[in-house]
């Protein structure tokens, strides 16, 4: 692995972007070499540390990803689907590890990321925390152990500024439950309930989303059977855990073979 890999943060002015800038700048195992924002943003041309209201970090905010990626060994990206797929192509050309925390990606977006992963390392996860990825593994195992007499519901809660639902983490958990039962989530997913929906279909995996206040992230997986309920739960109280996980992924990806990875790979939790 490169001794001190250079890392670029996309969407530097956002809530996660700022957290990532702080986390990378403070880490001795890497160096912050770039901070990106969309063209026309007020931060363009400013030192990213000063723009955040702190001490200068010696990194100027830019709207030129090509130049930024050319001097980087990794890109950490928590932006929006349209931006992420563009960044994936450019990161692949630069052979930089692309760590993706963006959610709300479509099937077409995922196909484009898979093409980019032929040329560079992509680590993509709806959630970068150790605890959530342990919960994913537990969900898969519990789903495999219980039959369809147990209904599965993924219940998630986030702050009122989150724009996509279900959350990327909720979908990770739903995928894990479906895999545990040997099913395709697209065939058993139940996301919309309003009005006279009829009874719940046996084997469906339901999703419920709560949006309010400043909730960082809460996820429950409910297994509701006759006479008993099992609830697996994860509560995040500090966004730094996502930034630390993303940085861990960026360092893990150095000198790996090109491919499409996730945090289960990074944390060594794969079956």
Burial 105-123 (b: 16+ CB within 10 A, else e): beeebeebbeebbebbbbb
Helix (H) or strand (E) holding 35: strand 31-36
- In the set 41, 119, 162, 179, the catalytic residue is 162
Among residues 158, 219, 234, 244, which one is catalytic? 158
Query: Shortest CA distance to 117 belongs to which of 253, 17, 1?
Result: 253
SS3 label, residue 126: coil
Which residues are CB-neighbours of 229 under 8 A, at least 6 positions away? 222, 223
Q: What is the DSSP string of 44-100?
A: TTSBHHHHTTS---S-BEES-HHHHHHT-SEEEE-S-HHHHHHHHHHHHHHT-EEEE
With CA atoms as reference, report the closest residue to 63 among 29, 101, 130, 13: 13
Q: How many CB atoms lie within 10 A of CB 144?
A: 14
**For this structure, is 162 an active site residue?**
yes
Catalytic residues: 158, 162
């Amino acid at each position: 692995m490169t001794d001190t890999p250079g890392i670029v943060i996309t969407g530097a002015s956002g809530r996660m972007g700022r957290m990532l800038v702080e986390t990378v700048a403070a880490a001795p195992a890497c160096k912050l070499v770039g901070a990106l924002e969309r063209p026309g943003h007020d931060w363009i041309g400013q030192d990213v540390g000063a723009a955040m209201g702190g001490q200068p970090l010696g990194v100027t905010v830019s709207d030129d990803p090509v130049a930024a990626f050319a001097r980087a060994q990794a890109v950490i990206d928590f932006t929006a689907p349209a931006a992420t797929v563009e960044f994936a192509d450019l990161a692949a050309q630069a052979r930089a590890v692309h760590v993706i925390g963006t959610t709300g990606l479509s099937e077409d977006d995922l196909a484009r990321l898979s093409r980019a992963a032929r040329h560079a390392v992509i680590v993509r996860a709806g959630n970068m925390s150790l605890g959530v990825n342990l919960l994913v593994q537990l969900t898969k195992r519990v789903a495999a152990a219980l039959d369809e007499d147990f209904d599965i519901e993924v219940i998630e809660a986030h702050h009122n500024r989150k724009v996509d639902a279900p959350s990327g983490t909720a979908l990770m958990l739903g995928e894990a439950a479906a895999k545990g039962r040997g099913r395709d989530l697209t065939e058993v997913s139940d996301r919309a309930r309003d009005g006279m929906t009829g009874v719940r279909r046996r084997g469906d995996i339901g999703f419920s989303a709560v949006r309010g206040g400043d909730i960082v992230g809460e996820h429950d997986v409910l297994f509701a059977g006759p006479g008993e309920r099992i609830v697996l739960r994860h509560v995040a109280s500090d966004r730094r855990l996502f930034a630390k996980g993303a940085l861990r992924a960026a360092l893990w990806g150095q000198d790996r073979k090109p491919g499409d990875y996730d945090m289960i790979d990074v944390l060594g939790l794969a079956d």
